[in-house]
């Protein structure tokens, strides 16, 4: 692990924040890391407010899209909401279905079969729309590259509204309206919305045209928060507001029946939910439906109001999730073995292929392989006539651009900087594998091939000792208000130097984990922490002098709550 930081900010900027807001130097540095330079920006950051959202009509084509939907509802014509099979797609379909039906729309939902149709808008889905008398399809979390499919729909007199957040290609579909902030000519101020966020802006625009109040839409923010967490978009700007308000709704209001059933199925129904709970508890179970069976199970669960039916669906999805975990573990082991057998340990890329590997877990396996071999990774499996794959990248390397340079060998690809999906002819596999290695080798920096820890500030252990009568220190209380954490608003990583061992030990099976207990020159009260997978570091600890990098989390155990270090590394 390469340690980077802390960044040095100009002293005048630090002092300006300290004086204007009345904060410590450490907090001032954390805010500057997040591009916050004055009181107003800090106030908006610490107090997310739905009223600070941008006007949805600033988004290109929003006026056209909202009018067409309202006209179609008025004419009592059915609308197809067409989504993707991941969490962002299924929550988006749920959001549009529940809102539009509440204002009288006749909605048909459609999500393609991952294995029979693949990602994106399919001819099969358009044909079904025609069969059902649909004159308008709203594609959400897909469609920005569906040039041929939109033309086909137009030949059948079906209009298209595309709500997407993926990068557009060189040719834009000839849809009636395209809502995507990433279009070059879209003036919308915030570019990093997930698809469910774009969907929320659409219902916000429609609701405004119907003279509704913004507060009426609070009940949809739980879906948006789940999508933001699962799709790993930046927790900045509007995403931060939507995620924070969504979490507040999840924790303070009665949960929608489907979400409650998911939480009950994983014994998490009575706890305060954080963004990590959305990522590791709710999202995998929603995803499991599309990975192992069909994503419509997830939509059925999220729109269900009957608790008995919801519990039955959630139980089925829990079974899919267990199956997903087993497949994930088995295929990861086979992929690691393949890398060793092919003697590809020292390459700049990882590209593996298994004929019978389950398509639903390829992305998860790619992420697992990056944990062992930190480099851009693609995992292939065999489809009907093509090899299909999921790609995952490392920090600082744009895998979408790399695939674009290999596009002459691909049948189809799409995605963004960190993750992508692709397909190719079997006879092109080896050529692609070699060419992809060449492209990455020529463009990736050495720094991107090494995991990095970005340190934000250096502190002493006394900063973690609570004042008299307080459960937590002032530093941690303020950090707690910086939630929800995520990309571009990560849980701050600190370094403390010159610490001494106060009884650290290796714990867990085979001493895999490090239970740290330390003091420094500022306090003799031991601070404890846990370093998962760092048990081997115990013998590297100098009992007189070492340094540690960590984040701060609460530890709940036996009815007691305490602060602990989540140790990233020691040296």
Residue 534: CATH number of its domain: 2.40.50.460
Kindly tell me the burial class for residue 308, based on how many C-beta atoms sit within 10 Å of its own C-beta (0-12, 13-18, 19 or more): exposed
pLDDT in tens, 306-347: 999 999 999 999 999 999 999 999 999 999 999 999 988 889
Task: Choose one of 185, 212, 239: the last residue of a domain.
Answer: 212
Task: Tell me whether residue 43 is in a domain.
Answer: no
Query: How many CB atoms sit inside 10 A of residue 80's CB?
Result: 22
Q: How far is 74 from 64, CA to CA, in rounded Å? A: 15
pLDDT in tens, 105-150: 999 999 998 877 877 899 999 999 999 999 999 999 999 999 999 9
Strand-pairing partners, residue 2, are: 452
* Ramachandran region, residue 142 (left: φ > 0; alpha: ψ -120 to 50; beta: rest): beta
Q: Taking the CA of residue 557 as centre, how many other CA atoms within 13 Å lie in the half-sphere pointing to its CB?
A: 6
Same domain as 204, residue 64:
yes
Same domain as 465, residue 385:
no
* The token pair that represents 298 in the structure block: 């997830």
- Print the domain residue range for 163: 56-212
Average pLDDT on 58-63 reads 98
Per-residue model confidence (pLDDT) at position 417: 84
Same domain as 448, residue 526:
no
Angle at 106 between CA 102 and CA 110, to 5 degrees: 105
Query: How many CB atoms sit inside 10 A of residue 379's CB?
Result: 28
Same domain as 200, residue 64:
yes
Same domain as 504, residue 414:
no
Task: Tell me whether residue 509 is in a domain.
Answer: yes
Per-residue model confidence (pLDDT) at position 293: 87
Query: Is the pLDDT confidence value at 494 over 80?
Result: yes
Same domain as 471, residue 418:
no
Same domain as 188, residue 69:
yes
Same domain as 201, residue 76:
yes
Average pLDDT on 506-511 reads 92
Query: Is the pLDDT confidence value at 556 over 90?
Result: no
Secondary structure, 3-state, 96-125: HHHHHHHCCCCEEEECCCCCCCCCCCCHHH
pTM of the model: 0.91
Mean pLDDT taken over the chain: 94
The CA–CA distances, whole Å, from 73 to 243, 445, 471, 556 equal 30, 53, 54, 50
Task: Tell me whether residue 325 is in a domain.
Answer: no
The rounded percent of the chain whose pLDDT value lies above 70 is 100
Is the peptide bond prior to 529 cis by the omega test (within 30 degrees of 0)?
no
Task: Tell me whether residue 334 is in a domain.
Answer: no
Task: Tell me whether residue 399 is in a domain.
Answer: yes
Per-residue model confidence (pLDDT) at position 543: 64
Same domain as 476, residue 421:
no
Average pLDDT on 392-421 reads 91
Q: How far is 229 from 247, CA to CA, in rounded Å? A: 10
Task: Choose one of 212, 240, 263: the last residue of a domain.
Answer: 212
The CA–CA distances, whole Å, from 92 to 98, 225, 430, 466 equal 10, 11, 37, 43
Per-residue model confidence (pLDDT) at position 540: 81
Average pLDDT on 235-250 reads 96
Q: How far is 451 from 395, CA to CA, in rounded Å? A: 8
393-396: list long-range contacts, CB under 8 Å, 24+ apart: 393/417, 393/418, 393/419, 394/370, 394/448, 394/449, 394/451, 395/448, 395/451, 395/452, 396/445, 396/447, 396/448
Task: Tell me whether residue 238 is in a domain.
Answer: no
DSSP classification of residue 178:
E
Task: Choose one of 212, 229, 260: the last residue of a domain.
Answer: 212
Average pLDDT on 268-279 reads 89
Per-residue model confidence (pLDDT) at position 446: 87
Average pLDDT on 235-249 reads 96
Q: Are 144 and 168 in contact (CB under 8 A)?
A: yes
Confidence of residue 415 (pLDDT cuts 50, 70, 90): confident
Residues 3, 8, 9, 12, CA torsion sign: positive
Strand-pairing partners, residue 136, are: 79, 159
The rounded percent of the chain whose pLDDT value lies above 90 is 85
* The token pair that represents 274 in the structure block: 């954080």
Per-residue model confidence (pLDDT) at position 379: 97
Same domain as 354, residue 464:
no
Looking at 173-236, list the stretches that DSSP marks H as alpha helix, in order from N- to C-terminal side: 195-209, 221-231
Average pLDDT on 525-543 reads 89
Same domain as 509, residue 422:
no
Q: Are 524 and 541 in contact (CB under 8 A)?
A: no
Given the structure tokens 């358009």, which residue do they identify?
126
Task: Tell me whether residue 251 is in a domain.
Answer: no
Residues 162, 163, 166, 172, CA torsion sign: positive
Per-residue model confidence (pLDDT) at position 115: 77
Query: Is the pLDDT confidence value at 363 over 80?
Result: yes
* Burial readout 87-124 (b: 16 or more C-beta within 10 A, e: otherwise): bbbbbbbbbbbbbbeeeebebbbbbbbbeeebbbbbee
Number of structural domains in the chain: 3
**Cβ partners under 8 Å of residue 89, min gap 6:** 83, 111, 140, 141, 142, 195, 295
Strand-pairing partners, residue 516, are: 529
For residue 376, the domain's CATH number is 3.10.310.30
Same domain as 465, residue 424:
no
Q: Are 179 and 65 in contact (CB under 8 A)?
A: yes
Average pLDDT on 224-232 reads 95
Q: Dmax over Cα atoms in the chain, in whole Å?
A: 78
Per-residue model confidence (pLDDT) at position 491: 97
Task: Tell me whether residue 232 is in a domain.
Answer: no
**Nearest CA among 467, 471, 549, 565 for reference residue 515:** 565
């Amino acid at each position: 692990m390469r340690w980077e930081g802390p960044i040095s900010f100009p002293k005048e900027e630090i002092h300006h924040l300290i004086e204007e807001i009345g904060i410590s130097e450490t907090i001032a540095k954390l805010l500057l890391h997040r591009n916050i330079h004055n009181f107003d920006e800090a106030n908006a950051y610490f107090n997310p407010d739905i009223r600070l959202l941008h006007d949805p009509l600033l988004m290109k084509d929003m006026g056209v899209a909202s009018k067409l939907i309202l006209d179609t509802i008025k004419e009592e014509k059915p609308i197809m909401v067409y989504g993707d099979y991941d969490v962002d797609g299924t929550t988006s379909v749920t959001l549009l279905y529940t809102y539009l039906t509440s204002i009288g729309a006749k909605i048909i939902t459609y999500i393609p079969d991952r294995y029979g149709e693949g990602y994106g808008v399919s001819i099969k889905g358009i044909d079904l729309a025609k069969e059902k008398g649909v004159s308008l399809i709203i594609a959400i979390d897909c469609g920005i590259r569906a040039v041929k499919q939109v033309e086909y729909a137009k030949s059948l007199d079906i209009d298209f509204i595309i709500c997407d957040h993926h990068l557009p290609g060189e040719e834009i579909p000839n849809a009636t309206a395209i809502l995507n902030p990433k279009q070059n000519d879209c003036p919308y101020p915030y570019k990093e919305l997930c698809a469910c966020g774009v969907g929320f802006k659409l219902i916000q625009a429609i609701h405004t045209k119907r003279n509704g109040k913004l507060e009426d839409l609070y009940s949809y923010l739980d879906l948006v928060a789940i999508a933001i967490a699962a799709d790993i978009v930046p927790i900045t700007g509007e995403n931060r507001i939507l995620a924070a308000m969504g979490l507040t709704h999840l924790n303070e209001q009665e949960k929608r029946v489907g979400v409650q059933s998911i939480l009950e199925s994983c014994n998490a129904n009575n706890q305060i939910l954080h963004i990590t709970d959305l990522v590791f508890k709710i999202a995998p179970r929603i995803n499991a439906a599309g990975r192992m069976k069909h994503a419509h199970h997830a939509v059925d669960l999220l729109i269900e109001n009957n608790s008995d039916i919801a519990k039955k669906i959630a139980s089925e999805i829990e079974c899919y999730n267990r199956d997903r975990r087993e497949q994930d573990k088995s295929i990861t082991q086979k992929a690691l073995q393949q890398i060793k057998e092919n003697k590809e340990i020292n390459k700049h890329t990882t590209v593996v292929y298994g004929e019978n590997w389950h398509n639903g877990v390829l992305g998860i396996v790619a992420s697992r392989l990056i944990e062992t071999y930190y480099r851009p990774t693609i995992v292939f499996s065999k489809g009907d006539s093509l090899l299909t794959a999921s790609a995952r990248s490392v920090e600082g390397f744009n895998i979408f651009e790399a695939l674009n340079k290999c596009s002459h060998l691909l049948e189809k690809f799409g995605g963004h900087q960190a993750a992508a999906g692709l397909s190719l002819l079997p006879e092109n596999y080896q050529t692609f594998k070699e060419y992809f290695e060449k492209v990455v080798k020529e463009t990736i920096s050495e720094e991107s091939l090494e995991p990095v820890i970005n340190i934000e500030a250096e502190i002493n252990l006394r900063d973690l000792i609570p004042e008299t009568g307080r459960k937590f220190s002032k530093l941690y209380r303020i950090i707690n208000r910086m939630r929800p954490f995520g990309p571009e608003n990560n849980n701050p990583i600190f370094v403390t130097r010159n610490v001494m061992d106060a009884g650290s030990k290796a714990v867990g099976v085979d001493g895999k984990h490090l239970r740290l207990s330390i003091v420094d020159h500022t306090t003799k009260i031991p601070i404890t922490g846990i370093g998962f997978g760092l048990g081997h570091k115990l013998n590297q600890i100098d009992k007189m002098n070492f340094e540690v990098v960590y984040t701060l989390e609460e530890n709940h155990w036996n009815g007691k709550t305490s602060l602990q270090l989540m140790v990233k590394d020691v040296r």
